[in-house]
Amino acid sequence: MSASLSRPASAAATVRAVLARDVTTDQLVREALERASASDLNALVSLNDHALEQAASVQKRVEAGEPLPLAGVPLVIKDNINLAGTRTTCGSRILETYVSPYTATAAQKLLDAGAVVIGKANMDEFAMGSSTESSAFGPTLNPWDRARVPGGSSGGSAVAVAANITSVALGSDTGGSVRQPAALTGVYGLKPTYGRVSRYGLVAYASSLDQIGPFARTAEDLALLMNVMAGPDPLDATSLSAPPQFRAGTPDDLRGLRVGVIRESLAGNTPGVEQALQGTIVALKDAGATVGEVSIPELKYAIAAYYLIAMPEASSNLARYDGMVYGQRVQGSDLLESMTLTREQGFGREVQRRIMIGTYALSSGYYDAYYSKAMKVRRLIADEFGAAFGQYDVLLTPTSPFPAFRRGEKTSDPLAMYAADVDTVAINLAGLPALSVPAGFETVDGVRLPVGVQFIAPALQDERLVALAGGLEGVGAVTMDVAPGF
């Protein structure tokens, strides 16, 4: 970002300024569009041509006296979240020209509250990846080191916030795709309870695991977005009726809090991650929390169970992309050849790999050996989390066992890439809420890289996580630095 372009204020500060008539929505959106256009990190795949028109509409509502909770807040949404009149590509060639005819419920709620979507964020193709390298539109670069990945699959959304293009953004989290890039870029990333935020309009990867979640720089901004987005939706049968009551907490929220560190997450971490985790534990104890260890033995099966559930669901969900109804179509000599060529040329290598593995796991003779067994392990993991919450209010792990890795470092080894989600996938299997908190830095090859820790709460206790984050901010335990040059 050019030094001549101002950094965005927090979403909460922006709302206060707009409602006080200190700044106009048009001015805020123009500045955000300028920052997006000036960025060389490939965080966005498209800008919203209607953003200024929407800004003018919001300004009229403000001048009419509407107390809009997100008045004038520019934001970015991941490119698998539908927004009417804009391209929704999912980072794939097969949807390169697809224009959304409708808007996702989560995005519509933000628009109704006065926010303005300035563009769509880059992502791993169909949200399948942990580095944002599998996008058909090129990799997103990490603002802390352009030679390194920002994490994935919501890397573009994370970078939009980390690089100060916007103060908040939306991503989707199927196995850690909000939390892991948040940790690798040094911002907050919240994965809500499954069903807490409507999935209507989110392009499906693995329907029993997917969840929309926000990125932000402050706990107050997380609370703002969740108070608007969360809640039931008649268009999503899996959405939950749990009225949102989010707030940024204070150090008082840490006093008496029972925190369980998951023993299985303590091995295999880099020194910087270990230091950040221990620093967080010390801060919690100093603030009056009690910290102990808890074991969840079945976590050793989480990666295997996750991929044996996610890939079959992806195989089913992506069967609709055959070139017959929407998206790209490659003409063949007959219907079968047209479908085959469309998928061969439209899907990238990682998407094809996951479809093939998922189809195999669902095939006759293998369903019971793979998918059915993975679903049983999923139940065991959820039960073990439930038992742990009988002892503790929240659980604590690293978000990622290492900081951002170099581009290309893991692309030739899919299993190594899948292992990047070792600390996050179990939370999706259990449908729990989890928050990645910026907790420190690790210097690698002379470069200072962010690392994060992850707090996990019982189902529907998402508010506890945001309050905890505010408490950590109050005791100085959140390292929300800005990358050099941004």
Catalytic residues: 78, 153, 177
**Chain centroid offset of residue 26 CA:** 27
User: What Cα–Cα distance (Å) separates residue 222 from each residue in 52, 193, 297, 466?
Assistant: 25, 14, 32, 7
> What is the edge-to-edge ordering of all strands in the sheet holding 168-172?
44-47, 116-121, 74-78, 168-172, 212-216, 188-191, 434-444, 447-456, 394-398, 258-262, 290-294
Please tell me the distance from the alpha carbon of residue 276 to that of residue 282, in angstroms, as a whole number. Answer: 10
Q: Which two tokens stand for residue 463?
A: 């508010």
61: left (phi over 0), alpha (psi -120 to 50) or beta: alpha
User: What Cα–Cα distance (Å) separates residue 119 from each residue in 32, 168, 176, 233?
Assistant: 10, 12, 23, 24
Number of Cβ within 10 Å of residue 31's Cβ equals 17
User: What Cα–Cα distance (Å) separates residue 304 from each residue in 205, 242, 268, 417?
Assistant: 17, 32, 18, 13
Please tell me the distance from the alpha carbon of residue 191 to that of residue 197, in angstroms, as a whole number. Answer: 10
Name every residue whose Cβ is closer than 8 Å to that of residue 78 and which is 6 or more positions away in sequence.
120, 121, 123, 154, 156, 157, 169, 170, 171, 172
DSSP 365: T
Q: Which helix (H) or strand (E) holds 449?
A: strand 447-456
Sign of the CA dihedral running 421, 135, 1, 35? negative
8 A C-beta contact, residue 120 and residue 77: yes
Sign of the CA dihedral running 192, 10, 439, 478? negative
Q: Where are the beta strands (DSSP E) in 112-265?
A: 116-121, 168-172, 188-191, 212-216, 258-262
User: What Cα–Cα distance (Å) separates residue 225 from each residue in 30, 92, 219, 230, 429?
Assistant: 21, 28, 10, 8, 24
Instruction: Please tell me whether the peptide bond between 208 and the residue prior to it is cis, using omega within 30 degrees of 0.
Output: no
476: left (phi over 0), alpha (psi -120 to 50) or beta: left
